[in-house]
Chain A
Amino acid sequence: MKAQIRITLKKGVLDPQGKAIAGALGSLGFTGVENVRQGKYIELEMAETDVEKARSQITSMCEKLLANTIIENYDIELA
């Protein structure tokens, strides 16, 4: 089973990289970009075939290592 994990900064946490990207887009002439937030994307190949078990394992991985829950949220997709 393949797991796709998206890690994003929590609302209210400043994202200087997102701001820099927004600035660069503006200087390339892309107007109307109101906000940019940069995050991470992680793919896992899991031996587990049970969706609920896999989700629970990955949730634990996110809580313990993949995300810093003080500043980040995570979102898990299984396929």
Chain B
Amino acid sequence: MAQSSADQTVLKRSFRRKRLRENAAGLFFISPWLVGFLLLMFGPMVFSLGISFTEWNMVGSPKFIGVENYIHMFTSDPFYFKSMIVTFKYVFIMVPLQVIFAVLIAVLLNRATYGIKFFRSIFYLPSLIQGVTLALIFSWMLNDDFGPVNYMLELVGLPRIHFLTDPKVALYALIFIALWGVGSPMVLYLSALRSVSAEYYEAADIDGAGPVRKFFNITIPLITPTILFNILTSLISAFQTIVLAFVLTGGGPAQSTYFYSLHVYRNAFTHFKMGYASAMAWVMFVLIVLLTGLVLASSKYWVHYEDDGGGR
């Protein structure tokens, strides 16, 4: 008894030490990021939190106004909720679509018996083009008058679509363009699919499961960790999306693509209301943290980790 309890403390201690060492290794690995964060970002973040309680136009000294910026946001800024709605629409359409397309392409590629490397590159290549370059390419592709897309629509007898200049269409055009980057999550899914053991499918075959059943009961559950990762990263970046709208539409037409981030940018660098812009940025930060937490909390109901069979 005494012997075993002593054993246990030794075990516990060594376990704790091992744990510590593992943590230290982890921290060590991310230390470049940590150091960069502390040196380059932490200061400005604290600064912007402070500034968010002031009125400041970059010249002169900030004037403390308490939570007035936060009140203005929710009560008297006519564009605040407008831009919030546009952003939510974008996120809740773009993120699911991206997950669905990435999974579908990965599954199809995974079934390919030959040429997989070739097709994998083909589907991945577009996602190497990002940001302003992507926006400029599509500004020509979708151009009302000269764009190849409209030209082809006309060839097959369809009316031209004012992709970027029709208030009803522009947001969806931006979502479509953003899906161009579907190649990066696709590669992740592909490697996740690769690690799904063939035994499961063999067992399912013996039980007489069809392909649809196999897809939903084996494939999807086993790649849920990757889906979770994909949803989290896209969610965070989609809420902050700015480049496409900034380059292609400037928030228009009729503010149909006036994202939250554009509203922040405009207040900061057109109206030079740094305090208000900082306040808005912080609200968005809190919102993203909450939503990320929500997704993480929900993950125990739908994400399956192979090692322990259930959620964590």
Q: Do A and B truly interact?
A: no
A binding-site residues for B, Cβ under 8 Å:
none
